[in-house]
Amino acid sequence: MDASGAGASILLDQVRKEYPDGTVAVEALSLDIEAGEIAVLVGPSGCGKTTTMRMINRLVEPSGGRILVDGDDVTSVDPVKLRRRIGYVIQQVGLFPHQTVATNIATVPTLLGWDKARARARVGELLELVGLDAAYGKRYPQELSGGQRQRVGVARALAADPPVLLMDEPFAAVDPIARDRLQVEFLRLHEQVCTTVVFVTHDIDEAIRLGDRIAVMREGGHLEQFADPATLLSDPATDFVADFVGAERTLRRLSVVDVRAAGLHRWPTVGPKDRLADCIAVMDAAEASWAVVSEDGTVDGWLARTEAAGDGTAADRLEPADAIEVGESLERALAAILAGNAPGAIVTERGRYLGVLTAGDVVTMARSRS
């Protein structure tokens, strides 16, 4: 296992952790995490999710089973060297208060023997990557906000291009607004790096937002289900998962299910230059209360039947439309409908009009298991 910057696969094979007093924190846990994915461990307090994560970098020694990172058994690697190759971010960040931000970020590169010029250049790259100005490098942790300290913590964890990044409830201690921003920034950041992430949280909404796959765990470190968010929400494997995800899972699923081209209504369309009387005839023929205004495949807006009376053309009475692209979330489509941009979500693909989703269609797609 090296720190090449490429994500590493992680295999947990029948991993067990039993403490000297007989307490079993994790029992026969098996997980296969793909290189470059964000795997989220979620569950109630005492389910062993943090213990599981800490066994990967051997801050907790496993009692049995195997943990492989890119095929290498972690128990065969010197634990100090192992931890220098695995990034680690915790809730309280753990920055060294007497060191500047730049020195904090350069901690692992310095331990690995990087020269000063290389370490300094890496600090500059990472500050930019996590959205902080280079001037922050000269500040001390106490001069930063909670959200800024978390960004520095992530930068420090990524400093040596680790193949694996472990994150233990990293955003739990900041206020909701900062947490939302950090989640957005984290997803943006992950698009630019290839690191495999194991992320621990107790918040199912955070898990759904961030995870490529989510491992739902219960007391004793038992795995209930490991699946992508859409599958987890639409098809919970056990009653425990269904209860943990909650009765609102259809609504949550809106954020993780994409709008598809299949199943759209071919809504009546009129051209912007069409006379209003002709527009009424088109809508009446389709028994529709509104029409999409489109020319040469592009969407100009929508026209309500009640606004089409009198002289003029569709362009004189149309309302602007916030079109939804195929591949955007159902949540985005429903938001467009509720915002009143149109009675339905007008869907396009590469800017070309395809059809319409109604609010009922959005709910049906959210409930679908396909």
Quick one: how far is CA 6 from the chain centroid? 19
Does residue 5 surpass a pLDDT of 60? no
Structure confidence at residue 303 (pLDDT): 94
**What whole-number percentage of the chain has pLDDT above 70?**
96
Mean of the per-residue pLDDT values for the chain? 88
Structure confidence at residue 270 (pLDDT): 96
Q: 246: which DSSP letter? A: -
Structure confidence at residue 4 (pLDDT): 45
Sort strands 24-33 and 10-18 into parallel, antiparallel or unpaired.
antiparallel
Does residue 250 surpass a pLDDT of 70? yes
pLDDT for 118-155, tens place per residue? 988 989 888 888 888 888 889 988 888 888 888 888 88
Q: Looking at the domain covering 10-253, what would its CATH class be?
A: alpha beta
Range scoring the smallest mean pLDDT among 78-82, 162-166, 190-194: 190-194
Structure confidence at residue 183 (pLDDT): 85
Structure confidence at residue 3 (pLDDT): 43
Whole-prediction pTM value? 0.73
Structure confidence at residue 235 (pLDDT): 86
pLDDT for 200-244, tens place per residue? 998 888 898 899 999 999 998 999 999 998 888 888 999 999 999
Collect all residues with Cβ–Cβ distance below 8 Å to 247 and sequence separation of at least 6. none
Please name the CATH architecture into which domain 269-367 falls: Roll (3.10)
Domain residue ranges of the chain, discontinuous segments joined by +: 10-253, 269-367
Distance CA 78, CA 69 (A): 14
- What would the DSSP string read from start to end of 82-119? HHHTEEEEETT----TTS-HHHHHTHHHHHTT--HHHH
Question: Stretch 153-173: mean pLDDT, rounded?
Answer: 85
Cα–Cα separations (whole angstroms), residue 358 to 189, 259, 263, 338 = 34, 12, 11, 11
Distance CA 180, CA 191 (A): 17
Structure confidence at residue 341 (pLDDT): 67
Does residue 269 surpass a pLDDT of 90? yes
